[in-house]
Amino acid sequence: NAGVTQTPKFRVLKTGQSMTLLCAQDMNHEYMYWYRQDPGMGLRLIHYSVGEGTTAKGEVPDGYNVSRLKKQNFLLGLESAAPSQTSVYFCASRPTVERNEQFFGPGTRLTVL
């Protein structure tokens, strides 16, 4: 199993550009999450999904959209990137509501100029 993978690993954008971050998991997990991690701020939840076709807002959803069309994939979109979205983005998945361990992807380092 590859576990949780994220594409791309690094990206530099200009203000106003758009992009999509892809998260894929091959563990048949129900729950998937997108976080951002900034120095001194810890992990902050952007959006999450409790199953295929469902999404919900987390702590810091503004400026981001997500989709979960397939169970194994969770996409994070930035429609018009801003310098404040410079961050490390982590995707995570969790098997079921009864299992609490979350498995994280390796992260995507995004810089918005």
Partner 1 sequence: RKEVEQDPGPFNVPEGATVAFNCTYSNSASQSFFWYRQDCRKEPKLLMSVYSSGNEDGRFTAQLNRASQYISLLIRDSKLSDSATYLCVVKKGNTPLVFGKGTRLSVIA
Q: Rounded to an integer, what distance in angstroms lies between the CA atom of residue 11 and that of residue 62?
A: 20
Q: Which is nearer to partner 1, 83 or 106 (CB)?
A: 106
CB 104 within 8 A of CB 27: no
Interatomic CA distance for residues 78 and 58, integer angstroms: 15
Nearest-approach distance from CB 37 to partner 1, in angstroms: 9
Answer positive or negative: Cα dihedral of 20, 58, 6, 49.
negative
Q: Binding mask 40-79 vs partner 1 (x if CB under 8 A, - otherwise)?
A: xxxx-x--x---------x---------------------
Nearer of residues 75 and 90 to partner 1, judged by Cβ: 90
Q: Which residues contact partner 1 (rule: CB under 8 A)?
A: 33, 40-43, 45, 48, 58, 90, 97, 100-102, 104-107
